[in-house]
Amino acid sequence: MISVFLGAGFCMIGGVPLASQLFDAQPEVDRITRQRLVQRVLARWIEWKTEHAGAPEEYLAFLQENDGHVWRDALWYVGLVIALRMGRLEMVGAQPTITRHNIDRTTRIESHEAFWSVIFRRTEEVGAITTNYDILAERGLRHEPRPRVYRPGFHYGEGSEYLEGGGYPSYAHIKRVGASGRVPVLKLNGSASWAYQDGKLLHYHDCRPAIRGNAAIVAPVTAKVLRQYLQDVWDKAHSIMAITPIWVIVGYSLPEYDELVRKLFVESSVHGPAVHVFNPDPEVADRFSRLLQGATVYAHPGLPEGLKDLEQVLKSVL
């Protein structure tokens, strides 16, 4: 079995903004309520940045400390920006509507599809862990096994389940969608397609929670706090990483402030895995080497350049 760890650089290939880019442009949305939300959030961001000259992560950390409706607006905005990159705005009848943000689609991202193909030519024994909110990992793995371009499908760490939702806002399904694959997808910071309601973590087949403003996500702040409803996700990630001899880490830069993830890496590496870091910045592999004293760390180019390296790595060990 191998652990695949996907960071922000992986989704950036698919056009998803990094945390530093969240406020760079005004997203086009479908309803007046969401238009006003976007305007409020961006106006507050510009005002704060003018005074403090800080980064988006610092701004969001400031809002989180003060909580209140301004913080909730910002969290809604973050999820909405990610959901919009998963779908598109189009006219349905006479109304603009955010559509096509459902999970049961392919990524249509050449390097992502090639990445999964390289892996599944060698093994189906994979655990996928990610810090990303988007649904690109789910789309790459597919929600159920697919034989033509082989994909084993995913589940959210609890085995097969029917996903919540149907109809609006994706207009994609008549019957319920199930996640019935082999690969666990463990989303450490939550997901644009998850909601936490009445003490339950609900998995939707699309990004409607992010669009509606109740997505179960941990904002990209400088000091994250582990939400209780995500504890089981983190525990499962640790249990998989702690037994897999090979880690494939794509697009994660190991920032100093991400203390929870750094702790996860340290506590899960006691067995001395071979850690293959795919990142265009070679210094990232050096950071992993310094952090993971008992592991053997290898540096590789980022995607898509690193695909040849990935094929050779898997060929030599599987």
41-62 pLDDT per residue, tens: 999 999 999 999 999 999 999 9
Same domain, 72 and 117: no
Please give the average per-residue pLDDT across 55-77, as a whole number. 94
Count of structural domains, the chain? 2
- Indicate whether 317 pLDDT > 90: no
Q: Which helix (H) or strand (E) element contains residue 117?
A: helix 110-120
Same domain, 144 and 56: no
Give CA–CA dist 20/280, Å, rounded: 18
Instruction: Point out the least confidently predicted range of 6-20, 42-56, 142-156, 169-183.
Output: 169-183
Q: Are 119 and 154 in contact (CB under 8 A)?
A: no
Same domain, 282 and 157: yes
Look over the chain and give the mean of its residue pLDDT values, rounded to a whole number: 94
Same domain, 172 and 243: yes
- Indicate whether 170 pLDDT > 60: no
User: 74, 99, 124: which is the final residue of a domain?
Assistant: 99
Same domain, 141 and 278: yes
Q: Are 257 and 222 in contact (CB under 8 A)?
A: yes
Per-residue confidence (pLDDT) for residue 67, from 0 to 100: 80
- Indicate whether 167 pLDDT > 70: no
Where are the extended beta strands (E) located within 173-254? 178-179, 183-187, 190-197, 200-203, 215-217, 246-250
- Domain span at 168: 2-15+103-317
User: 99, 117, 141: which is the final residue of a domain?
Assistant: 99
- Indicate whether 286 pLDDT > 80: yes
187-208: pLDDT as tens digits: 999 999 999 999 999 999 999 9
pLDDT bin (cut points 50, 70, 90) of residue 174 is: low
* Residue 109 belongs to domain with CATH number: 3.40.50.1220
User: 99, 115, 149: which is the final residue of a domain?
Assistant: 99
Same domain, 120 and 173: yes
238-247: pLDDT as tens digits: 999 999 999 9
